[in-house]
Structure 1
Amino acid sequence: MTWSFEKIKHTVFNRNPLDSTDVELRFHPIVRVAQRPSDIALFQDKVRDMFPKYRQNNVRGVSFAADKGSMTVQDEIEHVFSDVLNRNSLVLNQNTLRASSQDHQNRNELISQFNKGLVAAQNVFGGINAFRLGVRYVNIINKTEISKDLGVETLEWEDLISGEFLRMPHEINDKTNTNFMMEIGSNLQNGDGELTLRYGLIQNHPQLPDHFRFDIDRYVQKDDGLSINTTLDTINEFTDDIYSLFNTVMADKLKQWMEQ
């Protein structure tokens, strides 16, 4: 199977159901990130105007070598630079640079935040040998909240979500008190790399209303390396793909809520 959705011109809505957005660049290890605190201080100086807060996270990475049947566990430190409200952040370790947002406004802002970190990393650490670039948008569509915002007493999921994403096999379930999650991963008909979509109805707790999750991960990975010079153009292309795919899930009331 290959993704072949129609390309849609990008539009900025007045609001969106995004829970988080991430742009992540993975590269071969830069040991100085882990071993030279003075370089982290230099990096902070270059991003502090946008991300004044700083903290460290201790993380444990696990990797598997399928050909050898072995597992490697590595403890490392993540350096997190965030804004004053902790809504937007840059995360740096010796293998990864990531821009994350829990307050997505528009893609230009997200790209600007990522580019701030990328330029700083290049200035401090020199050449970056990247092999994977990914953009991920996680949408959480809450029917109860949207009903209140629109002043509509009752909404059905079909009012918000295209029926294609709600259909049950042979219609053997009416979706009442139902959780389901689907995952589709494939390459694109017109584009480099791959896209993985995870979607479904989820209820995290019996006392909480269910919600519809639409989680899009657009990425490219090349063992022989990626060109850093085209990173921002690639991110723009990936966000276009994400936007076009999201348009396939919107039903009338969701679009009305986003335009309101």
Structure 2
Amino acid sequence: MTGGAAPGGWTLVVPVKAFSAAKTRLGPAVPAEARAALARAFALDTITAARAARGVERVIVITGEVDLGSPLPAGVELVREVGGAGGAADEGSRPGGLTAAIDEGIAAARADSLVSVAVLLGDLPSLRTSELEFALEAASRHPLAFIADADGTGTTLATASAGVTMRPAFGEQSASRHREAGFADLAGSAPFATLRRDVDTVEALEQALRLGVGAHTAEAVAALADGALPHTALGPTASPTHPTDPRRRSPA
């Protein structure tokens, strides 16, 4: 079976957990209110960079949030997750959690036609549009494909070409489960440093800051300069500033 994105381009599904329940692993160093602000910022920067990618014609954000708190780019649709405000959970197998939210998003993406679909996690504040473009181009050569997270055990992106049934397996140990399910592993295509750098911990946030983050995350981190986020976590070389162009060049 051959791959190939649909002539109309990709539809991206971005699951976003309700901010009030998101990023609990940033605690106790980061208080709940600040965690919610960071989760919102991560999602907005991910969506902005993703929507700017060539070949992406539609972005569906599936979430328990009524409002993401910022105007969304044209071509981004906010779809209310069925099951209440709990939002996309961390556990892929939990009923009403991440898997259910993603299934809803894929169903919405393919309600009218069997388009090529990519599921992109919403906590990639360093995401560079150029990396996503390269990843989608590589994915277009496979019926099913995925990219593991920076730790190598999880997944940040999973794709399916038009007409190919898609049941991704996000959650713990999802990288191995995607390989077993026949998803092509795109890890060898490029480093994908920003596409793989999801943020669940303070250490991961520090690494994201070193890569450079989007405008929303930079603003949220700057707001924590009063000490809500420990100075030792940020490190002396980390910076919340970055180029604002979502098409900024990928690292060499």
The TM-score normalised by the length of structure 2 is 0.28
Question: In proportion to residue count, which structure has more strand?
Answer: 1
If you compute each CA radius of gyration, which structure gives the higher value, 1 or 2? Answer: 1
